[in-house]
Amino acid sequence: MSEIVKVDVDIPFNVFMRLFRKPYENAVKLIASELGLRVESIRYYKSEHGNTHIYITLDKKLNEWDYIILQFLFYNDAKKTFHNLRRLIGLGDPVDLMFHFIRKPTVVHRDRQ
């Protein structure tokens, strides 16, 4: 069973894709492998504000705590990561309530591993 980790990077999409995409992918794969996980795919989307949203599919399901830690390790916006952590602490175990962006974005770029 796989898990999709949603990451919000506050770098303009075009800049991220041009300068940071390859180093980012290498870092994510290294972090995942060190934790015994395999990256199945990495998808990139342009946010409504022009920044970068990244969806990283991993080969294993994660518990809520590990999910938030991985978001942080995968360079998720720190304020959103800590907001999600506060939600988890305050609400207990509500995975569906942790994320307020549950809409399907349009695929801009897909990189299959």
Q: What CATH number does residue 25 fall under?
A: 3.30.70
Q: Taking 90 as the threshold, does the pLDDT of residue 6 lie above it?
A: yes
Predicted TM-score of the model (pTM): 0.76
pLDDT at 57 over 90: yes
H helices of the chain, in order, are: 13-15, 21-34, 64-73, 78-91, 95-98
Predicted local confidence at residue 46, as pLDDT: 97
Q: Residue 19 sits in which domain range?
A: 3-97
pLDDT at 101 over 50: no
Q: Is residue 65 part of a domain?
A: yes
> What total of structural domains would you count in the chain?
1
Q: Who's near 74: CB < 8 A, 6+ residues apart?
A: 5, 7, 28, 31, 54, 56
pLDDT for residue 40: 97
DSSP H/E element including 48:
none
Do the beta carbons of residue 20 and residue 89 sit within 8 Å?
no
Residue 41: inside a domain: yes
**Average pLDDT of 51-58?**
96
